[in-house]
Amino acid sequence: MFIRQFQIEGLGHLSTLIGDEEAGLAAVIDARRDVDIYVDAARERGLRISHAIETHLHNDYVSGARELAAATGAEVVIGAGAELAYAHHPVRDGDFSSVGGLRFRVLDTPGHTPEHVAYTVADTSRAEEPVLMFTGGSLLVGAVGRTDLLGAANARPYAEAMFHSLHDAILPNEDFVGIFPTHGAGSLCSTGIGSTPSSTIGFERRYNPLLRPADVDTFARLLLAGQPAVPRYFARMRTINQAGPRILGGIPASTPVSLGELRGRAGQGAVVVDLREPGAFAQAHIPGSLSIPAGSSFGTWLGWVVDLDRPVVFVLAEIGDWDDAIRQSLRIGQESVVGYLEGGLGAWVGAGLPTESNGRLTVNELAQAVERGGVEAPLVVDVRQASEYESGHVAGAWHVGAGDLLGRLEDLPRDRSIATICAAGYRASVAASILDAAGFGRVSWVAGGMDAWSAHGLPLERGSNGRSVEQPAVPAEHGHPH
C-alpha cells in the first residue's frame, strides 16, 4: 500500500493519494481543485487514479473530484445524501468499494455536515480488518469538526449527530487504526486542531478533549464554544460543490493587463488586489486597491473581502507570485481574475499616475499615542477573532474581525484617526487597506501586532470591554489565518 498526504497550509486542507502498487490503481480522498499534483504523484509511482473519493460536501474549498474525474477518468464516490448533480457513485453505510486490494467501507457519520461519511480501509494483502480511516470533517487530530457551518439553528442537532457518529461508528474501531482527516491545523472548520496531519484511534481516544464528555450536552457545549468566524465565500462552497464546479482543464497561464485596461476595468467595478508585502503597500499603492499579501493565507482573505463574482486584477511583487495566487483563487471559487498589472506598481508610477499611502506604527508608537490620549489619539480597532481579542487586547480597543469590516464601516468614526491591529500585522494591513479604500482619511496599521505588544511588556486588557462591534451570524452555508 502506498499512501501520501498533501497539505494546503492556509486552508488547513489535507488530502490523500492512496494506492495499491501491485494492482497499479489509486484513489484520491477529498481532492483540492488544482489536481495536477495528484496526477504527477500517481504517474511517478506508476499508478492510475481510478477513484476520487469524497467524505462530504465541503464548506471551505471547491472540490477537485470532478476535475480529477475529467483528467483521469476516475469515478467520483460520495455519500448518497450529497445528491451531486453530476456523474458519481452514491454510497451508503456499509457499502464497499475496491481499489485493487484496498477495500473501502463506508461509515455513515453525520454531524459536520448531514451527508458526511467516513471510510475505513483494509489492505487485504495483509488482513481483512481495517488499518486506517479517512475521517473527513468528523474526528480530527486533537479536535472534532464544527457543526454550525450550515446555520446556527443546525449547530446543536448536528452536534448530537456528531456525538453518535464518533461513539457509535468511529471509536468502536481498533486503537491501531490510523486516522487521516481532511481538516488540519489552520482550518476554520474547527478550532484547536493539532499540527500533525494524522493520528490513530487509540491516541485520539486517550488525548482528544472532545472525546472525553460522556453526554451530548457537555460535548455540544465544548464543541461549539469559541469557534472562529468564517469567510464570506464559505456560503457559496456547498452549492458549487453539489452542482459540480466548472472543469478548468489546467491552471490558467499568467495574463498581463495593460495600464489602460486596468483603469477601464476598475472604472467598471473590478477590484485591484495588491499582493506586495504590507510595508510596500503602505508606502505607495494604487488608489482604491486592497492589500492582500501573497502567502499561505492569500486565498482565504481574497474570498473573505472580495465577492467571488467581482473581476480582479493583481498587482504582483514579481511574476513568480502568479501561479500560487491563481491556484489559491481557484480553490476558493474566485474565477474572475483577469490577470496582473503588466510592469507592476512601477508601471503605474512611471506613467505619472497618483498613488496613495497609509500609516505604519510600531507598538511603542501606538502605546505612546494611546497614553497621550486626547482627540489626536487613534481609535484602536482590533481585527482578530473574538477569542483572541478576549484573551488580551489594547485597553479601549474596539473589536471587529477583519473579514467583517466591510459590513461594519458605518460603525466606525470618520472624524478621528484609526489604527488597526491583529496578532502579527497581516490582518491589520488588510483591514487598513479596506478602510483606506472606503475613504477613511487617517488610517494606520500596527506592525508586529499584539505579539510584539506583549513581547514589549505593554499593558493588556482582558475579556470583553463592551466595545466590540456586533459580529454577523455565521453564514448559512476557516487555528486562524495570520
- Determine the average pLDDT of the residues in 446-452: 97
- Burial (CB count within 10 angstroms: exposed 0-12, middle 13-18, buried 19+), residue 104: buried
Cα angle: 191, vertex 194, 199; to 5 degrees: 125
Domains 2-243 and 359-455 share a fold: no
First and final C-alpha spacing in the chain = 37
Distance (Å, rounded) from C-alpha 408 to C-alpha 237? 24
Q: Tell me the per-residue pLDDT of 12-26, one tens digit each, with 9 for 90 and over.
A: 999 999 999 999 999
310 to each of 31, 116, 325, how far by Cα in Å?
26, 32, 16
CB 223 within 8 A of CB 140: no
Name the strand (E) or helix (H) holding 426.
helix 426-437
Say if residue 466's pLDDT is above 60. no
Cell numbers describing residue 212:
472525553
For the entire predicted model, the pTM comes to 0.93
Other C-beta atoms lying within 10 Å of the C-beta of residue 115 = 21
Q: Tell me the per-residue pLDDT of 145-189, one tens digit each, with 9 for 90 and over.
A: 999 999 999 999 999 999 999 999 999 999 999 999 999 999 999
Q: Tell me the per-residue pLDDT of 397-409, one tens digit each, with 9 for 90 and over.
A: 999 999 999 999 9
- Determine the average pLDDT of the residues in 185-207: 97
Q: Characterize the bridge pairing of strands 48-53 and 418-421.
A: unpaired
**Range with the lowest mean pLDDT among 53-57, 352-356, 373-377?**
373-377
- Per residue, the 3-state secondary structure of 331-393, as one string, reads HCCCCCEEEEECCHHHHHHHCCCCCECCEEECHHHHHHHHHHCCCCCCEEEECCCHHHHHHCE
Residue type (1 letter), 338: V
Q: Taking the domains of the chain in order of start, what are their residue ranges?
A: 2-243, 256-350, 359-455
What's phi and psi for 321, nearest 5 deg? -75, -10
Q: What is the CATH number of domain 2-243?
A: 3.60.15.10
Q: Tell me the per-residue pLDDT of 42-81, one tens digit each, with 9 for 90 and over.
A: 999 999 999 999 999 999 999 999 999 999 999 999 999 9
Cell numbers describing residue 412:
466606525
Distance (Å, rounded) from C-alpha 65 to C-alpha 32? 8
Say if residue 482's pLDDT is above 80. no
Q: What is the CATH number of domain 256-350?
A: 3.40.250.10
Distance (Å, rounded) from C-alpha 292 to C-alpha 305? 9
**Architecture of the domain delimited by 359-455:** 3-Layer(aba) Sandwich (3.40)
**Coil vs helix vs strand at 3:** strand
CB 105 within 8 A of CB 130: yes
Distance (Å, rounded) from C-alpha 187 to C-alpha 305? 18
